[in-house]
Amino acid sequence: AQKITQTQPGMFVQEKEAVTLDCTYDTSDPSYGLFWYKQPSSGEMIFLIYQGSYDQQNATEGRYSLNFQKARKSANLVISASQLGDSAMYFCAMREGIGGYQKVTFGIGTKLQVIP
Amino acid sequence: GAVVSQHPSWVICKSGTSVKIECRSLDFQATTMFWYRQFPKQSLMLMATSNEGSKATYEQGVEKDKFLINHASLTLSTLTVTSAHPEDSSFYICSALPASGSDEQFFGPGTRLTVL
C-alpha cells in the first residue's frame, strides 16, 4: 500500500478563496509526523506545517491549517485566502521512526494554480 | 536559522565523469543528513541516510558504489555521482537533521544535474 496518497494531480483556486489539498497516509507506527511542503518552480522545498500523531489539536501556521483526522488517516492541507504566490507543487510527507533512524516518505504532489 | 545550502545549484557534465555535490548545514550541527532524488514531475525519493562518522545507509535499488556519500563532519555531507550517465540526470536534494534532537529535517535548495 502507498504510504502517502495524494489523489489530486492538479487543483485550481480563485485568488482569495480557500482550497483544500487532500492527503491520506498509511502506517502501523504509533508515533509519526505529517508534513506539508511547498515546492515552487525553482525547486526548493519550503516547509509549511507539521502535525504530530499525538497532537490533539489541528496544526495551524498563518494561512495554512492541517485538518488531521487520525481515524481516517487523513491530513488535508487547507490554504485560506489564496494568493498568486501560492501557485506551486505541494507535497504531503510522513515521518516514521525517530532521530537518525527516521524515514520520510513523500506523496506524488498536487500542483496548485491560483487564478487571478 | 536552520539553513542548509547545496553546491553547486546546477551542473552539466559529460557521460562517464564524476560529479560531487555538497550539502552544508550553515547554522546548526547535523548528525544525520539525507539525500533525495527527484525526477521531473515526480516526488522526492530517499536515496540514503548519512550519519556523521559512519557509513551511509542506502535505500533498496540505490547503488552505493555509484552514489558515494561522505559525512565527514557535523556540517557537511557530500554525494558523488560516479561515472555519471544521462539516466542519472535529476534534481538532488539533501536535508539535515539537527543534532539538538528536533525531528524536523531542513532541506537544501537542491542541485540540478544534467548528464550529456
What would the pLDDT profile of A91-112 be if each residue is shown by its tens digit?
999 999 887 788 999 999 999 9
Confidence class for position B61, pLDDT limits 50, 70, 90: very high
Instruction: Name, in order, each residue with C-beta under 8 angstroms of A42's C-beta and a sequence gap of 6 or more.
Output: B109
CB contact under 8 A, B103 and A109: no
Lowest mean pLDDT among A46-50, B53-57, B74-78, B108-112: B53-57
Average pLDDT (B29-52) is 92
Question: What does the DSSP 8-state code read for residue B99?
Answer: T
How many cross-chain Cβ pairs, A to B, lie less than 8 Å apart? Answer: 54
Read off the C-alpha cell for A62.
Answer: 498563518
Confidence class for position B20, pLDDT limits 50, 70, 90: very high
* pLDDT of the residue at A50: 94
Q: Are B51 and B34 in contact (CB under 8 A)?
A: no
Question: Taking CA atoms, what residue in B is nearest to A109?
Answer: B43
CA distance B12 to B64: 22
What residue has cell string 546546477?
B10
| CB < 8 Å to B110, chain A | 43-45
Q: Which of A2, A7, A53, A104 to mutate to test the interface with B (most CBs of B within 10 A)?
A: A104
pLDDT above 80: residue A1: no
| CB < 8 Å to A104, chain B | 34, 46, 95, 105
Distance of residue B15 Cα from the nearest chain A Cα, in angstroms: 24
Q: What SS3 class is residue A45? A: coil
Question: How do residues A10-66 score in pLDDT, each as one tens digit?
Answer: 999 999 999 999 999 999 999 999 999 999 998 899 999 999 999 999 999 999 999
CA distances (Å), origin B81, targets A4, A63, B67, B88, B109: 28, 40, 5, 8, 18
CB contact under 8 A, B104 and A108: no
Q: Residue B105: which of A57, A29, A93 has the closest Cα?
A: A93
- B109 vs B2, more confident: B109
Which A-chain residues 52-91 have CB contacts (< 8 A) with chain B?
91
pLDDT above 90: residue B2: no
CA distances (Å), origin B79, targets A23, A49, B29, B63: 31, 28, 18, 12
Phi/psi region, residue A3 (left: phi>0; alpha: psi -120 to 50; beta: rest), is alpha
Q: How far is CA A15 from the centre of its chain?
A: 20
Question: Taking CA atoms, what residue in A is nearest to B43?
Answer: A108
Distance of residue B16 Cα from the nearest chain A Cα, in angstroms: 26
CB contact under 8 A, B105 and A107: no
Q: What percent of chain B has pLDDT over 70?
A: 99
Question: How do residues A62-97 score in pLDDT, each as one tens digit?
Answer: 999 999 999 999 999 999 999 999 999 999 999 998
Read off the C-alpha cell for B25.
Answer: 548545514
* pLDDT of the residue at B21: 97
**Torsion angles phi and psi, residue B7, rounded to 5:** -140, 130
